[in-house]
A and B are shown apart, each in its own frame.
Chain A
Amino acid sequence: MTAPSELVERRHILLCCGTGGVGKTTTAATLAIEGARRGRNAVVVTIDPAKRLANTLGLETLSNAAHEIARTRWDPDGDAAPDGRLHALMLDTETTFDQLVQTYAGSEEQAAGILSNRFYRNIAGALSGTQEYMAMEKLYELHDRGGFDLIVVDTPPTRHALDFLDAPRRLTRLLDNRVFRMLMVPTRGVVRVGGVAAQAFLRAISRVVGSEAVDDVVAFFRAFEGMEDGFRERATQVMALLASDDTAFVLVTSPRRDAVEEAEYFATRLADGEFAVDALVVNRVHQHYCDRDPAALRDQARALVARRSDAANRLAEHYANLADLEEVAVRERAELTGLEQRIGDASVSHVPELGHDVHDFAALRAVGSHLMGAD
């Protein structure tokens, strides 16, 4: 069992995963700040932060390079470890992909041919999975060349939290596509039956989507020839980095049923892939106000109403409200039981419902103290 405080002190990479709307970005920012407070050179990679949080982190625009946040902002009281540093970056998917193409292209002409291709621009700009892949690519780059002690990555809000693990494979599958590789055959001056069948196939597709789109695809795969190996190799390196002991998976969820179900699914899938959840962070948990059963509190409210006095009625409302809030607290804990069992010996931290939006350093610190003092 590794508490979040230990993760930010010792690990090199923290991957925050979870579905949308559970406070992943906030958790990632908090972990990076806590790492910096403990003297580490930390960077948080965000994907799509809410505006006010982005402003706090100085991320008004996409920035493909990490920028440092002034110490006075994240450590206003000056009580953090002296050599800690905090950086932030908002992933620019397209630029990251362009750089990757430039790295693996055999020549400048090859790179230019790919970068100007319309099909390529669609992949870089809009293909689902590209963002996930580029997040992992950026992670690798920061690991390889950034000189950071601690890299905290917020993963994209995919429908299934695990999509980012599949993304490199999905993209390589696209680039490896057999049908389109067949199309390459005639350009090599060898005419085979496969080539003819592929041409017929292409004509059929052209009838549906128009020939321009198909021409773009053919041009792309011609330009891309020879680069697949580089991409595949990089995907392998990224997977190895994720599997390393220096990488920890932080599963973020809220106590709502749908979020918990997704988190359980994620934990199971992660286990299938030889990974394990190291820490579970549950955001916005309602606290218990007392240890009485909600039903007993409701009975008491009813008994008070039966007294038919104004004072008793008013008091009854307070009891009914306490029952409401206790009921939520009980329900949330029941919701979480199965998940907490499934993740084995991962640490579990509950961040209470703070009742306000978390977007400035003071609020991030408040979340941080709940996370670091994990139960």
Chain B
Amino acid sequence: MDLERFCSASRVVIVAGKGGVGKTTVTAALATAAARTGMSVLIVEVEGKSGLAACFGEAPLTYEEAELRPRVRARTLTPDDALLEYLDDHGMRRISKRLTRSGALDVVATAVPGMRDILVLGKVKQLERARAADLIILDAPAAGHAVSFLLSARGLLDAVRVGPIQRQAAEVVELLSDPTRCQVLLVTLPEETPVNELVDTAYAVEDRAGVALGPVVVNQCVPAVALDGDVDDDAARTGITLDATERDALVAASRFRADLVRRQDEQCGRLAERLPLPQLRLPYFFTADVGVTEVELLADELVLGIGTLADVEDGVAL
């Protein structure tokens, strides 16, 4: 599939996964890849705290949009921001001050579970409707919270039967269940527990929340290298005398790498068996944490991976 088609399959992509799997770097790489096709991208960060801006070498995000690289803008959108904006939009600016000052906001949000999530998703829907960008990428809260985040709208529809919040929830459900408007990109690591948890999350997202799934991103895959030959023999053939310590270090390090790559492949295989979704693998970097250079490299890998994906009819469900 070509990159442009991939990136325009749905207008909102929600990047989700357990804490520590690198959702933020995947978000940055996807945004970079999309921007290369000339699309405008808006990244929405919901936890009010992440290293997203640092991936682009920029200062931390705020509620105001900021440009991170040409055609990529980003902003935060915390539930509190979303609620205040919502109340303002509905002519309740006066009570919004009182709500926050008195702490009653907590009470209201507790009375209506999922309200915080609905407000955030409602705002994303508004941005999507207003065509704030060709592609909106939502850096979702960490899973298991991701599932409840996506389920919040349906839950709220059952609990609240009238009023503006109910309408908001209905519109969010519409957005989430239309694969041309929204899909979820799940991120995991090639390790046992993250793979297990990803499979559970995937079924919950699709069956219970009714949101379409894109390919799974397997992040931080240690690149395989050809560690062939016998170190002693090859040293002898090359005419090098290895001291014992160095020889042992080379052998131990090579064994570690080979084991790691083998286990990774096993986990990717297990993931493929349990979850019939295409996988996009992104590399682990030995030399540095993810920064400006690495994001571009990850985007390269993403583009390569997307190139190998099969086209699907109607540009729906990747």
Contacts and interface: CB of A to CB of B under 8 A. Distances in A.
Interface string A252-285: 0010111100000000000000000000000000
Contacts of A159: 47, 49, 142
B241 interface: no
B281 interface: no
Contacts of B99: 205
Contacts of B20: 19-22, 254, 256, 258-259
B186 to A, nearest CB: 15
B249 interface: yes
Contact of B238 (A204, A208, A315, A356): A315
Contacts of B231: 315, 318
Interface in A74-125: 119, 122-123, 125
Interface in A48-81: 48, 50-52
Interface in B3-39: 18-21
A318 B160 contact: no
B226 to A, nearest CB: 6
Chain A interface helix/strand/loop/mixed: helix
Contacts of A325: 253, 256-257, 286
Which one of A207, A311, A318, A321 has the greatest number of beta carbons of chain B within 10 Å?
A: A318
A204 B49 contact: no
A356 B190 CA distance: 11
B163 A355 contact: no
Interface stretch (B122-130, B191-199, B308-316): B191-199
Given A309-B237, A357-B191, A20 B92 contact: no
Interface stretch (A38-46, A146-154, A175-183): A175-183
B196 A321 contact: no
B286 A123 contact: no
Interface stretch (A213-221, A240-248, A338-346): A213-221
A254 B21 CA distance: 13
Contact of A317 (B51, B98, B113, B226): B226
A79 to B, nearest CB: 29
B111 A119 contact: yes
18 contacts: A19-B20, A159-B142, A174-B103, A177-B107, A179-B102, A205-B95, A207-B164, A208-B87, A209-B160, A210-B163, A210-B166, A213-B112, A311-B229, A315-B229, A318-B227, A318-B231, A321-B254, A327-B286
Given A217-B107, A322-B254, 12 more contacts: A19-B19, A50-B196, A122-B110, A179-B104, A179-B107, A205-B108, A213-B159, A254-B20, A292-B246, A315-B229, A315-B240, A356-B192
